[in-house]
């Protein structure tokens, strides 16, 4: 049934706020959570056994994660190989290419004409690297560790890296 389990509000008009759809259809959602018209609290929240917020979806659908982990956000390729990992302890994001003939990361600015296509601003950084590219494999011809192409940008910069407080380390490092 499309209404296998339903929770409604307690107002005069009983509006659905949580519906579980048990039909196996290509055009439906299994679970629907509907925000109230003036809701400001989370749509969905996961808490620890001690009541600490772990993860939530805001009333506007934004994802928030409160976690200190070397794999706070990890995406695998379906075979267990990590492709994207964000370490919330150190703030390091790792992107691993899927095959030897693909880009590990690509930024496309489409029809951007007046702002930065790629910008890193780390003005409070005092040690370390604002941007570091590390290859653990051999890059063979044709290929490059870092490539910037500007076809139509007329104002602004294709790439901008800023670290005005940096006293040790480098603004840009390729190893």
Residue 56 has pLDDT above 90, yes or no: yes
Structural contact between residues 104 and 95, judged by C-beta atoms closer than 8 angstroms: yes
Query: Which of 59 and 34 is assigned the larger pLDDT?
Result: 59
Distance CA 59, CA 56 (A): 9
> pTM of the predicted model, to two decimals?
0.52
Residues 6+ apart with CB under 8 A from 2: 19, 21, 22, 23, 28
> Per-residue pLDDT tens for 90-102?
887 777 765 555 5
Distance CA 152, CA 142 (A): 24
Q: Residue 168's pLDDT is what?
A: 77
């Amino acid at each position: 049934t499309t209404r296998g389990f339903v929770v409604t509000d307690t107002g005069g008009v009983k509006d659905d706020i949580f519906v579980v759809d048990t039909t196996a259809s290509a055009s439906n959602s299994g679970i629907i959570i509907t925000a109230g018209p003036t809701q400001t609290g989370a749509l969905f929240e996961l808490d620890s056994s001690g009541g600490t917020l772990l993860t939530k979806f805001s009333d506007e659908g934004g994802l928030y994660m409160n976690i200190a982990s070397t794999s706070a956000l990890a995406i695998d390729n379906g075979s267990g190989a990590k492709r994207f990992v964000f370490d919330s302890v150190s703030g390091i994001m790792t992107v691993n290419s899927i095959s030897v003939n693909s880009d590990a990361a690509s930024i496309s600015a489409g029809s951007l004409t007046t702002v930065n296509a790629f910008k890193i601003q780390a003005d409070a950084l005092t040690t370390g690297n604002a941007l570091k590219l590390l290859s653990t494999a051999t890059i063979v011809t044709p290929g490059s560790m870092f490539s910037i192409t500007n076809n139509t940008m007329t104002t602004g910069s294709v790439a901008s890296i800023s670290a005005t407080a940096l006293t040790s380390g480098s603004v840009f490092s390729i190893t």
